[in-house]
Structure 1
Amino acid sequence: MDKLRRVLSGQEENEELGLTAQVLDASTLSYSTRVKWFAIFFAGGILCSILGTALLFLPGGIKLFAVFYTLGNISAISSTCFLMGPLKQLKRMFEPTRLIATIVMLLCLALTLCAVFWWHKKGLAIIFCILQFLAMTWYSISYIPFARDAVIKCFTTCVS
């Protein structure tokens, strides 16, 4: 569209864009599109997690619970890629302040599925899902300034 505007206004450049610039130009999304896809992925993640929790109470539903809960968390995490881009998201996930929460979260995602499908340990799968939730919460509040400090202070006040 920009090229058409340049041609019509008589400002066409003779140089062709490089391959990287062409790919980036073709793959950029508008702000409203980014927000829409963020909302779709985030809502899909919540829906999968709720559906997984509902399926937990069916006979043999532990496998469906583990899969849907894990997919829900993956969808919720990947939703932010639409807002900031996948590379920036990965860089921010592995910053020193979030490194431990990210590793624990990703490890629990994998271990939940291992516990259900390979080890056949239902209780262990539930524990890993709880750890997924805690790691996701700790990871998420790391984006709010001073939220971790407030949670730690609140927790230590309640315990002592």
Structure 2
Amino acid sequence: MAMDVKVAAFNVAHDYEGGVVQLAPLIGKNHNTLNAEVAGVGSAKLGLLDAVKITLRTRDFRILDAFNATCGRMSIPLPEMLDVEGDDCMRALADSSREYSELVSTTCSSLADDGWVSDNELKKLQTEAGQAISAINALMAAATRRNQAGKPRSAT
């Protein structure tokens, strides 16, 4: 069962250090207005662009995750946004191996007790799979940079 995007928005805004009082001015809103929007008070509604601002400002992806889950999708960080320095292939390889190992461990744990995958276990598996895919993408980006760096430059 997917988390409701309204619940996610409320939790992100209120879990931010200082809550809506601190977050609201950072996205150009009055704190009372933002509180009403994330709480769904009366006819107040949180707009899509404000949800993006909140996500970018807080670096909390629960709104995006809830939106994705509702739509049966998932997102992964782009390699350019990951913390993989330069062309460090070995670090990226270690990260991808660790993420895959966590996916295997989570899968085994979810099947161990009863042989079924609950809704919560499926959510954890989807998260672990996304992280493994992201780490593999980062590895491929590092390998591509290493490949390009090893090619002779053309004389012009």
TM-score (norm 1): 0.29
Query: Relative contact order, CA 8 A, sep 6+: which one is greater?
Result: 2
Alignment TM-score, normalising by the size of structure 2: 0.29
Rg (Cα) greater in structure:
1
Q: Which is richer in helix?
A: 1
